[in-house]
Chains A and B, each alone.
Chain A
Amino acid sequence: MEITFNHFLILSAILFGLGLYAMISRRNAILVLMGIELILNSANINLIAFSKFGALGVDGQMISIFVIILAVAEAAIALAIILNLYNNILTVNIDEANTMKD
């Protein structure tokens, strides 16, 4: 059976769903960050599949390089924010970070 374009797209859709589930339901902020990494990787799979099967050519791979660069910057900033949160309220559970509410 030939592997077609749709196989890659469906795989990345499932990966996107798993990352979305991690973003919605995990309590630990670092695991939310892991969900974001899964979603960015599914976007990269889509871009590179379009670059092989679609009319995108090597430009798709260039765009995925920029996605990787932005993922690195985002991970560094988010971890700095999480460490600062831990220094202030001694937890990284996102449902306990509600000190601005009261």
Chain B
Amino acid sequence: MPYYTILFYIFAIAIIASAVIVVTAKNIIYSAVSLFITLFFIAGLYVLLNADFIAITQIMVYIGGILVLLIFGIMLTSKITEVELTTSNLSAVPAIIFTVGITTIIIFVILTTKWNTKPPAVMTETISQIGKLMLTTYLLPFEIASIVLLVALIGSAMYSRKIK
């Protein structure tokens, strides 16, 4: 399947390149826009893996929610009128050495482990299966997740207002 291969490599190169821009850009707004591109291509990767519902959720929640929240945070915490929106890195060289070491170990483990894989199953209509699982097997975690979201909402609203 050559189209699948070509699409995977396009997505992979775009994800890694924009993630590198996220972690190295001097301007914070550039980092936010690159994070947008990264999350969008990760959603494309989910479509390649037959997870259409997760791809849509990724676009709606991450790009529509978290990224807008992050940009709000950047705008509220940077003195736009005085200083340019730049940032710098702390102790970059030890961080690079540590990170490259960890990533090399992980990739070595991935390549040497004998994974218990099977030929990829043909998945159809994952949305109905996810809906059934969400109301049968995963009913309790689903309810707990909704309570966690409510508590996080109330807590962040309480915590971020000015205390008089």
**Interchain CB contact under 8 A, A68 and B58:** yes
Query: Given contacts A26-B87, A82-B73, is CB(A16)–CB(B22) below 8 Å?
Result: no
* Residues of B in contact with A, size category: 35 or more
B111 to chain A minimum Cβ distance, whole angstroms, is 7
Number of A-B contacts (CB under 8 A): 227
Nearest residue in B to A76 (C-beta to C-beta)? B156
> How far apart sit A93 and B59, CA to CA, in the bound complex (Å)?
29
Which of the listed residues B42, B65, B138, B149 has the most CB atoms from chain A within 10 Å of its own CB? B42
Contact partner, A24, options B22, B99, B107, Cβ 8 Å: B99
Q: Are B66 and A48 in contact (CB under 8 A)?
A: no
Min distance, Cβ B83 to any Cβ of chain A, angstroms: 11
Interface residues on A, range: 35 or more
Which of A8, A28, A84, A86 is B159 in contact with, Cβ under 8 Å?
A: A84
**Chain B positions 18 through 56: 1 when the CB is less than 8 Å from some CB of chain A, otherwise 0:** 011011000010011001001100100110011101100
In the complex, A97 has a CB within 8 A of chain B:
no
Give the residues in chain B near A3, CB-CB below 8 Å.
Answer: 4-5, 8
Minimal beta-carbon separation of A54 from chain B (angstroms): 6
Cα(A49)–Cα(B58), bound, Å: 15
Q: Which residues of A contact B69 (CB under 8 A)?
A: 75-76, 79
Binding site for B on A (CB under 8 A): 1-3, 5-11, 13-22, 24-28, 30-31, 33-35, 37-38, 41, 44-45, 48-49, 51-55, 57-59, 61-62, 64-66, 68-77, 79-84, 86-87, 92-93, 95
5 new A-B contacts, CB < 8 A, other than A61-B130, A83-B76, are A2-B1, A24-B98, A48-B49, A57-B121, A62-B134
